[in-house]
């Protein structure tokens, strides 16, 4: 996973790097993703990238873990505390609609949805994430 110094970056800088990487992986898959394109899109130097990440697999794992964390946060934010027999299905419906709304508004969900089919066919993408799990 990313080095601790990456976590200490200001949030806007972290977001820019992860967004650039996420867009690149979504557009080109893991194998064809270019660190040079990520560096250019994020507006950082190659030295900075390697200061924060060991390699492409490490960066990819960080993007995946950030996405998973956002999904988990969104699911935990759903109002399921007051479920009863009479309101169960209405609560499930409302939670589903709210989840869809969150996913439609958050680029991370869109990025994950775009990348997933392609990444499933790339064994090396899975290898890149294994150390993070």
Domain count, the chain: 1
Nearest partner of 59 among 35, 37, 82, 28, judged by Cα: 35
C-alpha dihedral, 40 to 46 to 49 to 54, nearest 10°? 130
CATH of the domain at 16: 1.10.357.10
pTM: 0.74
Largest CA-CA distance found in the chain, in angstroms, rounded? 58
Task: Look at residue 116 and tell me whether its pLDDT is greater than 80.
Answer: no
Task: Look at residue 118 and tell me whether its pLDDT is greater than 70.
Answer: no
Q: Regarding predicted confidence, which is higher, 130 or 22?
A: 22
Task: Look at residue 133 and tell me whether its pLDDT is greater than 50.
Answer: no
Task: Look at residue 130 and tell me whether its pLDDT is greater than 60.
Answer: no
For 113, the domain range is 4-132
Provide the pLDDT for residue 105. 77
């Amino acid at each position: 996973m990313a080095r601790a110094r990456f976590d200490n970056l200001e949030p806007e800088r972290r977001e820019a790097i992860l967004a650039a990487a996420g867009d690149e992986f979504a557009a080109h898959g893991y194998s064809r993703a270019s660190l040079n394109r990520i560096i250019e899109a994020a507006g950082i130097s190659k030295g900075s990238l390697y200061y924060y990440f060991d390699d492409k697999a490490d960066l990819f794992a960080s993007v995946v873990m950030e996405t998973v964390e956002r999904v988990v946060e969104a699911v935990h934010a759903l109002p399921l505390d007051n479920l009863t027999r009479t309101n169960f299905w209405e609560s499930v419906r409302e939670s589903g609609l709210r989840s869809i709304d969150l996913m439609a508004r958050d680029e991370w969900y869109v990025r994950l949805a775009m990348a997933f089919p392609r990444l499933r066919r790339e064994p090396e993408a899975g290898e890149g994430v294994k150390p993070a799990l």
